[in-house]
């Protein structure tokens, strides 16, 4: 061992030839050390810039040598007993660097030629290894001056070529020279006068069959990297143990220069050869490991420049960087995400944005967002993914479409794929549990600053292509994304109105709205019949704005009547007594009845109702398990979905998978035949495999049983019903960016609203007309409202807004208005649900206000009924 505890090259060699005599061992070790000195003289030099030895790199006369060529030439110099410079000591060589050089050499080299290697033009290029950086730090500490460290960091971190060659990883004893000497026969390491030319050529690699018994080199994993990331982290830890002011300004300036040059090159030259891609990959892996990117000068100057450069990488290079992060940098992902979030937040707060210069135009915001997308996918790759066989094939089999559905003629539109996701072969649907929670990628300040009408216009624009956050939806909160969907829906509605106007102009009048006229006492029959007629005659009418009229009532639908219509129809349709859906007792969720008597058309029209609710921005009182929303986006249900669908069954099957005993058939007594109940409570049986009743679950087939059983429960048993349901849903939403913007759990919020019911949010967001926040009637109103039980608060919300559901983003999104409706009187409060407006008389006492308000919310139904 050398004085630093590193393994000496001579020790390895001696141990491999231990069968020879001690005298022979010493000769071989001495010869090996001498060859190593020649090798490092050729590659690293002696450190004397005035050196005149033509076989020394420091003289500038040795250029363009590959490691193998240098090794062969070192053997020739050894055989010729050529001149050897002083100071080239191989026993100081670190074993973890590809371009190994003397660790102590940095102390003797001037700053401008720290650890040089030769570039393609013969110019010396500096680079760093962990040992070299540690030696420089120790020298600076000893001398009390950090000028050498500053110059070295500035030189290496400002040069793409120098930084890409730094911190290279090679396993112990895998340097080119060591590998060549390891496979050399004993006769090659005899005294110089005995070394033949044939032996030299055999070490030059000209003979391809030197060791034909070795297996072929393994194909490198696409997420592998030549950078020794652990060495990088240790090096940065040692570096930041020093006072930051000693070197950080120089490092920041170097990083800015580096990023600026890389960005310029990428914008000018575009696609790069694989060698350049490898170089850039190494650079970004190193710089994004800097532990203080989210603080001080790095955040202000360097980080956004690095993000701009990284965002210019070709898609293939971005995918490789994403894979390496997922495979080797899990511990770094969270801190890097926080740094990017801080950068975006600071730039949003400090920006002066107008309609002409918005957040989409600021590259200090858009560039880190693009890098965050790589982290987003890296987090998914590093977490738990669905099995690859859970494919998006819900629409592949259409053989069972009934005549009604055939007449509908739905064409399902594929969601535009993100190029990076396509390159990686992944989507948000693949992620069962990401390494970083999806919610951590939301940036609320940015979401509030984005003007979604303009962002939607950028999303739709063709040339020139503008940056749109809708293509980076992971960073937007669900409430903001809902606005993007709203604008898309409204534009389609206005387009349908315009087409209706043109058709009327040419003598073919059509209704610009989707009008439904229904009776309260036969709501479902009327609604489904009218929707079926529309779907059969002209399905595009479903994309018109919905207008509902209750027969015999005075209400004009400006949004409020539609809200009540959806609340009522959903309450009846999803009632288990209706027979189309069942209630999962354990989870209190709604599921498709596998033995229903209703035909496919009925389920298609139910899907239309759900799609219309989303399309018309109405929240429903629907409680589906999460697997329904995953299936609506095209995924098949699998075993993991049972955790939400039936927790007890999931635990039971998990115990079966974890069971290791050989007595499994006797313990579980389970065959490949499973039972379920029909609408009358009778037990029906289904065989998961042919003759399943005769096949018991064993250790060998238990996973197959679990997969088949899960597939039966979530897919096979309700295949007909769900396909019809999804088809109806897609009839309304097929052209919308729903799948682009929302993950399954966010679609649940979109359909059902937020689960947080906080009247304090509603009070803070309420506006007043004729009153002020300090008016006694308003203070009394909120005292009464906050004292009500939850059920009465929901009634008050429904009375005022037409829905008792909380919109995505919370009650603050409702923007309720309380308007003065005259002086004190015996009249009840009145609501305009279309505009979320409560008309409240100025009652003289809190008791009278409470009495009139409770009567209004408890006995109101319909319009003009009181």
Q: Is pLDDT of 193 > 80? A: no
Q: Is pLDDT of 441 > 80? A: yes
Cα separation of 249 and 150, whole Å?
9
User: Which pLDDT belongs to residue 284?
Assistant: 95
Q: Is pLDDT of 785 > 70? A: yes
Q: What is the mean pLDDT of residues 295-318?
A: 90
664 inside domain: yes
More confident site: 301 or 96: 301
Q: Is pLDDT of 417 > 80? A: no
Report the percentage of the chain scoring pLDDT > 70: 77
Q: What is the mean pLDDT of residues 146-153?
A: 91
Same domain? 105 vs 224: yes
Take residue 335 and report the two structure tokens written for it: 């801190």
550 inside domain: no
Cα separation of 330 and 556, whole Å?
57
Same domain? 136 vs 159: yes
Mean pLDDT lowest for which of 560-564, 606-610, 698-702? 560-564
How many domains, the chain?
Answer: 4
- Per-residue pLDDT reduced to its tens digit, 14-30: 333 334 444 555 556 66
Mean pLDDT lowest for which of 369-383, 445-459, 500-514? 500-514
Neighbours of 398 (CB within 10 A): 11
Same domain? 302 vs 331: yes
More confident site: 736 or 99: 736
CATH code of the domain containing 771 = 3.30.2410.10
440 inside domain: yes
Q: What is the mean pLDDT of residues 109-113?
A: 33
Active-site residue set? 834
488 inside domain: no
* Most confident region among 66-80, 148-162, 462-476 by mean pLDDT: 148-162
Same domain? 251 vs 352: no
CA 268 from centre of chain: 29
User: Which pLDDT belongs to residue 378?
Assistant: 96
532 inside domain: no
Tokens 């170097």 found at: 254
Q: Is pLDDT of 707 > 60? A: yes
Same domain? 666 vs 811: no
Same domain? 197 vs 329: no
User: Which pLDDT belongs to residue 28?
Assistant: 60
More confident site: 341 or 354: 341
Q: Say if residue 154 is preceded by a cis peptide, omega within 30 of 0.
A: no
- Four-residue CA torsion sign, 792, 794, 795, 796: positive
CB 551 within 8 A of CB 518: yes
Q: Is pLDDT of 452 > 80? A: yes
Same domain? 730 vs 595: yes
Same domain? 786 vs 818: yes
More confident site: 263 or 539: 263
Cα separation of 727 and 406, whole Å?
11
Q: Which of 752, 769, 794 is the last residue of a domain?
A: 752
More confident site: 497 or 229: 229
Instruction: Report in angstroms the alpha-carbon separations of 221 from 44, 218, 424, 553, 786.
Output: 31, 9, 14, 69, 60
- Four-residue CA torsion sign, 168, 174, 178, 179: negative
Cα separation of 689 and 707, whole Å?
12
Instruction: Report in angstroms the alpha-carbon separations of 724 from 199, 218, 266, 535, 853.
Output: 77, 49, 49, 13, 44
User: Which pLDDT belongs to residue 19?
Assistant: 41
Grade residue 183 by pLDDT with cuts at 50, 70 and 90.
Answer: low
Question: For the CA atoms of 273, 275, 276, 281, what is the dihedral angle to 10 degrees?
Answer: 120
- Per-residue pLDDT reduced to its tens digit, 759-781: 888 888 899 998 998 899 999 99
Q: Which of 479, 505, 529 is the last residue of a domain?
A: 479
CA atoms within 13 A on the CB side of 509: 0
Neighbours of 222 (CB within 10 A): 11
Same domain? 773 vs 742: no
User: Which pLDDT belongs to residue 176?
Assistant: 55
547 inside domain: no
Cα separation of 323 and 378, whole Å?
6
Cα separation of 808 and 482, whole Å?
8
Instruction: Report in angstroms the alpha-carbon separations of 401 from 379, 407, 601, 724.
Output: 39, 10, 9, 8
Contacts of 191 (CB under 8 A, 6+ apart): 27, 31
Q: What is the mean pLDDT of residues 109-124?
A: 40
More confident site: 114 or 682: 682
3-state secondary structure of 112: helix
Grade residue 37 by pLDDT with cuts at 50, 70 and 90.
Answer: confident
Cβ-based burial of 216 (10 A; exposed 0-12, middle 13-18, buried ≥19): exposed
248 inside domain: yes
Cα separation of 615 and 733, whole Å?
7
Mean pLDDT lowest for which of 65-69, 110-114, 413-417? 110-114
H/E stretch holding 432: strand 431-433
More confident site: 818 or 199: 818
Q: Is pLDDT of 504 > 90? A: no
Same domain? 23 vs 107: yes
* Most confident region among 314-328, 410-424, 492-506, 753-767 by mean pLDDT: 314-328
Q: Is pLDDT of 218 > 50? A: no
Q: What is the mean pLDDT of residues 800-806?
A: 77
Mean pLDDT lowest for which of 112-116, 220-224, 484-488? 112-116
Q: What is the mean pLDDT of residues 597-602?
A: 82
Cα separation of 622 and 581, whole Å?
12
* Most confident region among 98-107, 832-841, 843-852 by mean pLDDT: 843-852
Q: Is pLDDT of 721 > 60? A: yes
CATH code of the domain containing 675 = 3.90.1750.10
Q: What is the mean pLDDT of residues 273-302?
A: 86
Q: Is pLDDT of 89 > 50? A: no
- Per-residue pLDDT reduced to its tens digit, 355-377: 888 999 999 999 999 999 999 99
Same domain? 99 vs 239: yes
Number of H helices, E strands in the chain: 36, 14
In terms of Cα–Cα distance, which of 63, 73, 160 is closest to 117? 63
CB 838 within 8 A of CB 817: yes
Question: For the CA atoms of 597, 600, 606, 608, what is the dihedral angle to 10 degrees?
Answer: -170
- Four-residue CA torsion sign, 462, 463, 465, 468: negative
Tokens 């409680």 found at: 623
Q: Is pLDDT of 350 > 90? A: no
Q: Which of 479, 494, 519 is the last residue of a domain?
A: 479
Take residue 187 and report the two structure tokens written for it: 């006769």
More confident site: 312 or 387: 312
pTM of the model: 0.74
Grade residue 684 by pLDDT with cuts at 50, 70 and 90.
Answer: confident
Identify the DSSP state of 66: -
523 inside domain: no
Q: Is pLDDT of 717 > 90? A: yes
In terms of Cα–Cα distance, which of 333, 435, 423 is closest to 382? 435
Grade residue 221 by pLDDT with cuts at 50, 70 and 90.
Answer: low
User: Which pLDDT belongs to residue 652?
Assistant: 93
Grade residue 518 by pLDDT with cuts at 50, 70 and 90.
Answer: confident
Mean pLDDT lowest for which of 227-236, 436-445, 446-455, 793-802? 793-802
Same domain? 352 vs 463: yes
Domain holding 164, by residue range, is 9-207+220-274
DSSP string, 342-395: HHHHHHHHH----SSS-GGG-HHHHHHHHHHHHHHHHHHHHSEE--TTS-S-TT
For the chain, state the CA radius of gyration. Answer: 36
């Amino acid at each position: 061992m050398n004085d630093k505890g590193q393994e000496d090259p001579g020790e390895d060699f001696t141990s491999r030839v231990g069968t020879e005599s001690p005298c022979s061992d010493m000769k071989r070790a001495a010869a090996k050390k001498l060859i190593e000195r020649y090798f490092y003289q050729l590659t690293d030099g002696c450190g004397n810039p005035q050196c005149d030895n033509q076989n020394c790199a420091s003289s500038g006369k040795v250029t363009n040598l590959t490691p193998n060529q240098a090794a062969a030439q070192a053997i020739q110099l050894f055989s010729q007993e050529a001149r050897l410079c002083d100071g080239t000591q191989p026993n100081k060589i670190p074993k973890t660097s590809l371009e190994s050089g003397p660790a102590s050499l940095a102390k003797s080299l001037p700053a401008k030629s720290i650890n040089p290697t030769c570039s393609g033009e013969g110019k010396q290029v500096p680079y760093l290894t962990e040992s070299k950086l540690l030696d420089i730090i120790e020298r600076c500490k000893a001398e009390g001056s950090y000028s050498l460290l500053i110059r070295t960091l500035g030189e290496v971190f400002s040069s793409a070529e120098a930084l890409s060659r730094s911190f290279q990883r090679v396993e112990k004893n895998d340097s080119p020279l060591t590998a060549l000497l390891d496979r050399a026969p004993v006769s090659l390491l005899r005294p110089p006068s005995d070394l033949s030319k044939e032996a030299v050529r055999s070490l030059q690699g000209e003979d391809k069959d030197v060791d034909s018994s070795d297996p072929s080199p393994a194909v490198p994993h696409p997420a592998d990297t030549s950078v020794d990331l652990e060495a990088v982290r240790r090096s940065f830890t040692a570096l930041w143990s020093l006072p930051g002011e000693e070197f950080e300004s120089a490092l920041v300036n170097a990083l800015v220069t580096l990023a600026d040059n890389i960005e310029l090159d990428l914008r000018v030259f575009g696609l790069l050869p694989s060698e350049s891609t490898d170089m850039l990959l190494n650079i970004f892996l190193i710089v994004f490991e800097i532990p203080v990117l989210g603080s001080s000068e790095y955040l202000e100057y360097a980080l956004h420049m690095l993000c701009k450069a990284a965002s210019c990488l070709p898609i293939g290079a971005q995918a490789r960087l994403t894979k390496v992060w997922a495979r080797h940098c899990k511990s770094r992902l969270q801190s890097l995400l926080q740094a990017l979030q801080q950068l975006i937040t600071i730039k949003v707060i400090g920006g002066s944005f107008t309609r002409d210069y918005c957040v989409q135009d600021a590259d200090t915001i858009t560039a880190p967002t693009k890098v965050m997308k790589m982290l987003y996918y890296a987090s998914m790759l590093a977490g738990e993914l669905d099995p690859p066989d859970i494919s998006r094939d819900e629409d592949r089999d259409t053989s069972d479409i009934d005549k009604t559905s055939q007449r509908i003629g739905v064409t399902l539109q594929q969601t535009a794929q993100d190029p990076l996701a396509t390159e990686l072969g992944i989507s948000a649907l693949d992620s069962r549990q990401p390494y970083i929670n999806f919610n951590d990628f939301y940036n609320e300040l940015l979401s509030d600053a984005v003007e979604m009408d303009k962002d939607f216009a950028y999303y739709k624009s063709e040339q020139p292509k503008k940056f749109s956050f809708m293509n980076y939806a992971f960073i937007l909160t669900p409430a903001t994304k809902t606005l993007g969907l709203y604008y898309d829906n409204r534009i389609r509605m206005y387009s349908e109105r315009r087409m209706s106007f043109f058709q009327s102009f040419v003598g073919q009048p059509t209704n610009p709205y989707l009008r439904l006229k229904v009776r309260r006492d036969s709501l479902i029959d009327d609604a489904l019949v009218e929707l079926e007629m529309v779907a059969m005659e002209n399905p595009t009418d479903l994309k018109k704005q919905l207008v509902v009229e209750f027969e015999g009532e005075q209400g004009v639908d400006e949004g409020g009547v539609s809200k009540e219509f959806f609340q009522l129809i959903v309450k009846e349709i999803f009632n288990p007594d209706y027979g189309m859906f069942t209630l999962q007792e354990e989870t209190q969720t709604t599921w498709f009845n596998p033995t229903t008597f209703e035909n496919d058309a009925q389920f298609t029209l139910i899907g239309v109702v759900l799609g219309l609710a989303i399309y018309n921005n109405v929240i429903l009182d629907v409680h589906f398990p999460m697997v329904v929303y995953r299936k609506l986006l095209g995924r098949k249900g699998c075993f993991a979905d049972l955790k939400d669908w039936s927790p007890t069954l999931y635990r039971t099957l998990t115990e079966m998978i974890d069971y290791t005993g050989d007595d499994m058939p006797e313990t579980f007594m389970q065959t490949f035949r499973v039972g379920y109940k029909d609408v009358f409570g009778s037990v029906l049986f289904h065989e998961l495999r042919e003759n399943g009743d005769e096949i018991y679950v064993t250790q060998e087939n238990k996973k197959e049983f679990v997969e088949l059983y899960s597939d039966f429960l979530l897919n096979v048993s309700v295949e007909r019903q769900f396909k019809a349901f999804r088809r109806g849903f897609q009839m309304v939403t097929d052209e919308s960016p729903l799948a682009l913007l929302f993950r399954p759990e966010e679609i649940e919020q979109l359909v059902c609203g937020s689960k947080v019911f906080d009247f304090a949010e509603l009070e803070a967001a309420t506006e007043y007309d004729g009153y002020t926040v300090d008016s006694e009637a308003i203070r009394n109103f909120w005292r009464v409202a906050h004292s009500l039980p939850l059920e009465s608060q929901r009634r008050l919300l429904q009375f005022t807004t037409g829905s008792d559901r909380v919109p995505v983003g919370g009650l603050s999104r409702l923007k309720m208005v309380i308007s003065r409706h005259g002086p004190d009187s015996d009249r009840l409060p009145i609501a305009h649900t279309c505009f979320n407006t409560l008309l409240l008389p100025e009652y003289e006492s809190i008791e009278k206000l409470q009495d009139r308000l409770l009567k209004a919310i408890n006995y109101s139904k319909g319009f003009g009924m009181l």
